[in-house]
Amino acid sequence: MLRRVPAQNLSDLVRDAAAATPDKAALLFHGETLTWAELDARVSAAARGLQALGAAPGDRVAIHLGNTPDFAVAYFGSLRAGCVALPVNTSYTADEVGHVLSDSGASIVLTGVATASLVSAPTVVVTASQQWRQLLADRTAMASVGGGEDLAVLLYTSGTSGRPKGAMLTHRALLANLEQAAQIDPPVVASDDIVLLVLPLFHVFGLNAALGSVARHGATGVLTERFDPVETLELVRRHGVTNVVGAPPMYVAWSMLPDVGDAFSSVRLALSGAAPLPPAVLHRVLDVTGHHVFEGYGLTETAPVLTTTLMSEVAKAGSIGRPVPGVELRLVDERGSLVEEGDPGEIIVRGANLFSGYWPDGADGPDADGWFATGDVAVLDDDGDLHLVDRRRELILVSGFNVYPREVEEVVATLDGVLEVAVLGIPHPYTGESVKALIVLEPGASMSADDVIAHCATSLARFKCPTAVSFVDELPHSATGKVSKGRLRELNP
């Protein structure tokens, strides 16, 4: 344990790491090494600089940056100043950025040269500028302002339709999830680990599960601004990365490279989240690297980790494992009653890691007893391991019968030549809705719509089988690799 007393403000983790191992590498980036002492000094400088710009406790500071040391400085500096950090997706359009800044009331935006033209706010600071250098001039140690139940981070969730909503995460919630993960055996991150920070830090998975864990344990993070299979694999090899916190598209790409086994020789633990990992890819990674990829499940609203196959006796393909320590989980029906054994039910959760509702008034947060309905449907197998069925909001109703898109997607994915598939409900004059499959084929593969429908008919009830099949060059993805059903609906109305 690095701390003698529990942290109250997330930025305290940086100070504690600096006190314990000041000269140890905190972040590695393009040949630059930032020690924990240097990072802590820059965090204090950023906090003082934000105060000099007029930022007061509770003010929202938008961080519109990629995976660079400046992001970490801006993030922890905002928290140390008592402000609310507002990480903004760097792939957003100007309209999307404008909505987030307007809805949140952000008064300060920290951004890069390439993205500065997309933002508009009372104060905009470009990190490569003289203003940013002056902002970081005073590196005198500074005590953190606030913590505990104070709002720490405002993260806008993508959702499946409509405008994103801001999930309100307190210092308590973020710190609680780090402590929950720290109780897992084997530990997700330890102090001597070197963690690949490739997931975007504006996403809760990269922000707290990855960067937050590095700070919590005083480990070392290797930052990279984008995922390139060859370049990131070289970073793993060069820096002796021990922990990979990734998403399915990363493992798909790596598994096809001939030297992935050699590069992964230093890896202790490989994790995947944000979207289901195809079983074939999981087995391929195991074959070529000797590593299981442990899958997890969580939400922006839960800071984020709820379950992981690290908690299971065996890491099964297609499973999301069991709840992490400190998280209560139930499967309930539409009336809120516990489902019968073996039946699917909506996941509801309770724990110290839950958010405080949506911005600005805390709407739709946990109920009076602390339970939060995730909107996800799962089933428990005979061993006590969870398997996601689908999002309740993505249910397709065919003649009144429920069709879960993921169930159909898993069947289609077993066809040789299918690289990726997404299933949507489309209007039907007689059944209300019917099932449509959009398929990306592997290079050189060939099949017809009839082939897909016939294959599904061998495993699925007739009402679940696709009535329409489209072959597409690619599917739209979110920043963490999950198929964006909202954008898919826009492209396929």
- DSSP class per residue in 212-237: IHHHHHT-EEEE-SS--HHHHHHHHH
Provide long-range contacts, Cβ within 8 A and 24+ apart, for 473-477. 473/440, 474/440, 475/420, 475/422, 475/438, 475/440, 477/249
409 close to 382: Cβ distance less than 8 angstroms? no
| pLDDT-derived band at 161, boundaries 50, 70, 90 | very low
Query: Any idea what the CATH number is for the domain that residue 113 is in?
Result: 3.40.50.12780
Are residue 211 and residue 92 in the same domain, yes or no? yes
Answer for the pair 307, 353: CB distance below 8 angstroms, yes or no: no
Q: Are residues 465 and 325 in the same domain?
A: no
Tally of CB atoms within 10 A around 319: 23
Query: According to the model, what pLDDT value does residue 160 have?
Result: 39
Q: Is 363 found in the same domain as 269?
A: yes
- Predicted confidence at residue 2, as pLDDT, reads 42
What is the reported pLDDT for 397? 81
Average pLDDT over every residue of 168-183: 97
CA 38, CA 123: separation in Å to the nearest integer? 26
Question: Do residues 47 and 81 lie in contact, with contact meaning Cβ atoms separated by under 8 Å?
Answer: yes
DSSP alpha helix (H) spans, 9-119: 12-20, 36-52, 69-80, 94-104
Identify residue 142 by its one-letter amino acid code.
M
Give the end of a domain, one of 333, 351, 380: 380
Q: What's the one-letter identity of residue 402?
A: N
Q: Sorting pLDDT into bands at 50, 70 and 90, what band is 3?
A: very low
pLDDT tens digits for 383-409?
Answer: 999 999 876 677 788 876 778 888 899
DSSP code of residue 205: I
User: What pLDDT is attached to residue 163?
Assistant: 66
DSSP string for residues in 385-431: -EEEEEEGGG-EEETTEEE-HHHHHHHHHTSTTEEEEEEEEEEETTT
Residue 4 covered by a domain: no
Tokens 């240097």, residue?
A: 38
Residue 386 lies in a domain: no
Is the Cβ–Cβ distance between 45 and 137 less than 8 Å? yes
* 195-220: average pLDDT: 96
> Apex CA 128: angle with CA 124 and CA 132, to 5°?
55
pLDDT attached to residue 65: 97
Q: Is residue 466 part of a domain?
A: yes
Rounded distance, CA 97 to CA 101, Å?
Answer: 6
457 in the same domain as 418:
yes
- Are residues 371 and 411 both part of a single domain? no
**For all residues of the chain together, what is the average pLDDT?**
92
Please state whether the predicted TM-score (pTM) of the whole model is above 0.75.
yes
The confidence band for 4, taking pLDDT boundaries of 50, 70 and 90, is: very low
% of the chain at pLDDT higher than 70: 96
Question: Domain holding 403: CATH number?
Answer: 3.30.300.30
Categorize the per-residue pLDDT at 159 as very low, low, confident or very high, splitting at 50, 70 and 90.
very low
Do 169 and 83 belong to one domain?
Answer: yes
CA neighbor of 359 nearest in space, from 46, 60, 56, 44: 60
* pLDDT given for residue 392 in this prediction: 66
Q: Please give the Cα distance from 103 to 361 (Å, whole number).
A: 12
Distance of alpha carbon 21 from alpha carbon 18, whole angstroms:
5
Q: Burial level of 491, CB count in 10 A (0-12/13-18/19+)?
A: exposed
Q: What is the pLDDT of residue 377?
A: 92
**Residue at a domain's end among 355, 380, 405:** 380
Q: Please report the pLDDT score of residue 493 as a whole number.
A: 57
Q: For residue 343, is pLDDT > 70?
A: yes
Give me the phi and psi of 447, to 5 degrees please. Answer: -165, 165
5 is a domain residue: no
Task: Examine residue 248 and state whether it is found in any structural domain, yes or no.
Answer: yes
- Lowest-pLDDT range of 127-136, 255-264, 365-374, 392-401: 392-401
Let me know the angle formed at the C-alpha of 305 by 302 and 307, rounded to the nearest 5 degrees. 120
At 275, phi and psi to the nearest 5? -160, 160
**How many alpha carbons lie under 13 Å from residue 318 in its C-beta half-sphere?**
16
User: Stretch 91-101: mean pLDDT, rounded?
Assistant: 87
Cis preceding linkage at 304, omega within 30: yes
Which of 7-21, 84-98, 147-161, 355-369 has the weakest average pLDDT?
Answer: 147-161
Considering the domain architecture, whether residues 147 and 250 belong to the same structural domain is answered as yes
Give the number of domains in the chain.
Answer: 2
How does residue 1 score in pLDDT terms, banded at 50, 70 and 90? very low
pLDDT of residue 5: 57
pLDDT given at position 450: 97
Strands 32-35 and 123-126: unpaired
Q: What is the pLDDT of residue 247?
A: 86
Question: Quick one: 422 and 282 in the same domain?
Answer: no
Domain range spanning residue 474?
395-491
pLDDT digits (tens, 9 = 90+) for 262-293: 999 999 999 998 777 878 888 889 999 988 99
390 in a domain, yes or no?
Answer: no
Q: How confident is the model at residue 317 (pLDDT cuts 50, 70, 90)?
A: confident
Residue 268 near residue 193, CB atoms below 8 Å: yes
Asked if residue 249 and residue 214 are part of one domain, the reply reads yes
pLDDT, mean of residues 366-394: 91
My answer on whether 274 and 362 are in the same domain is yes
* Domain end point (choices 354, 380, 406): 380
Strands 345-350 and 372-380: antiparallel
Same domain assignment for residues 361 and 423 = no
